[in-house]
Copies of this chain bind each other. A is one copy, B any other.
């Protein structure tokens, strides 16, 4: 197993190609490391400058002090030479963000780079043609996209490795808007050294990572990848999204990161065999990951819907059933308990419909009862926040009930400016929230399938 620690926990980081000029990639990278709150030593490298953003600049890594991690943002042509300098300096980890290698058919320079890398077998290299690493907790942000244009995620339990920088970064941007927590994000690009299999092995041993997400377009070493995935998925759920699965998509993938997309059906079958959870869209990737990282496994397929909007429950029931799940029904004693706190027109059947008059107290009692009732395996709350009688406290109540971790508990609550604020509050406390019943149902199904695979399903 390759040691990747220095990508995520370096004490000193050099930016090779750092620049004092705004909008230059080497400047954006320096700024982002500073804004990310990196506590170690940040060292700009540029032979033409003295000081960059208040930090002393060195002509080359050779002249600088100790460096754990080097970020390379110089034109492709001089990258092999820079790599040799890094190797001689015994730098532990290097991220090459520069593009212009095999992904655009530049085989000559790619070979030169590869040969340089092989001289230093103990130096780990990420890239080229990648965005590198975002590790919020340690203040590592090597992405060269400005922070005011592309948001960064809060700390969390999901780690995410992406072959495509564009796809990876846009997913980070989206997750940041939603306040989904990410532990480690890695854009690995052309993967001349560190590849997706290495990352899988590393993240599986990482205690902070509860779920691994992958975005891959093609595989260089498919057999090894699947072998490792098979082992890892027994310990850590792997959610995978595959780009480039149709014939024409494949053509695009070939040119994009210089790897081969492979036959879609074969690859899908292989994912299944390795017990990976396949997402078929961006939304699904994090939807599955959030539920798998934040919820206990389920003992069965019976879902209790608790709602304050009848129509929403109708749609949600549909999607649960379409996904092979069932509506649960609590026992009479449970209904009696809930009946005491709800209005007479509330419906207590397979769906607990608290109606538009729902209050925090009603949600609390219904959730507590469903958590105890043996007929119920999972809880899906539908909360339409705009109803005038619903107090703001309902958010804290849901967070409190969710923290018990007795049964999977997720929230569906449409979308809108006010509602998104409430959902952000819940996401920050790791309650998975959804805008659409379909997404929620699919995510619970993924949790059910993984629970089944882990032998937790009892009926």
Contacts and interface: CB of A to CB of B under 8 A. Distances in A.
Given A388-B23, A388-B144, A246 B322 contact: yes
B416 A311 contact: no
Contact of A169 (B246, B386, B437): B386
A419 B173 contact: yes
Interface string A158-195: 00001111111111011011000000000000000000
A145 B419 contact: no
Interface in A238-289: 243-249, 251-253, 255-257, 280-283
A290 B264 CA distance: 32
Given A150-B418, A243-B315, A418-B150, A388 B145 contact: yes
A145 B252 contact: no
A252 B317 contact: yes
Interface string A369-413: 000000000000000111111000000000000000000000000
B174 A414 contact: yes
B311 A215 contact: yes
Interface in A346-378: 347, 349-351, 353, 356
Given A309-B166, A318-B246, A416 B151 contact: yes
A336 interface: no
A283 B436 contact: yes
A321 B251 CA distance: 13
Interface string A196-217: 0000000000000000000101
A356 B166 contact: yes
A148 B418 contact: yes
Contacts of A419: 149, 170, 173
A350 B388 CA distance: 52
Contacts of A332: none
Contacts of A165: 311, 356
A259 B281 CA distance: 35
A452 interface: no
Interface string A214-232: 0101000000000000000
B309 A167 contact: yes
A36 to B, nearest CB: 16
A50 to B, nearest CB: 24
A45 interface: no
A318 B249 contact: yes
Contacts of A170: 309, 312, 384, 386, 414-416, 419
A139 interface: no
Contact of A315 (B150, B167, B174, B356): B167
Contacts of A149: 385-386, 388, 416, 418-419
A48 interface: no
A104 interface: yes
Contact of A438 (B255, B281, B322): B281
- Residue picked from A170, A327, A350, A438, most chain B C-beta under 10 Å: A170
Contacts of A107: none
A420 interface: yes
A345 to B, nearest CB: 5
Contact of A164 (B167, B252, B256, B310): B310
A140 B417 CA distance: 21
Contacts of A243: 311, 314-315, 318
A69 to B, nearest CB: 22
Nearest to A243: B314
A28 B104 contact: no
A313 interface: yes
B145 A387 contact: yes
A417 to B, nearest CB: 5
Contact of A386 (B173, B321, B417, B420): B173
A70 interface: no
Given A151-B418, A177-B416, A436 B281 contact: yes
- Residue picked from A321, A384, A386, A417, most chain B C-beta under 10 Å: A386
List 5 A-B pairs, minimum CB-CB distance, nearest first. Answer: A164-B311, A173-B416, A166-B309, A170-B414, A150-B386
6 contacts: A151-B418, A164-B309, A217-B311, A244-B317, A248-B350, A281-B436
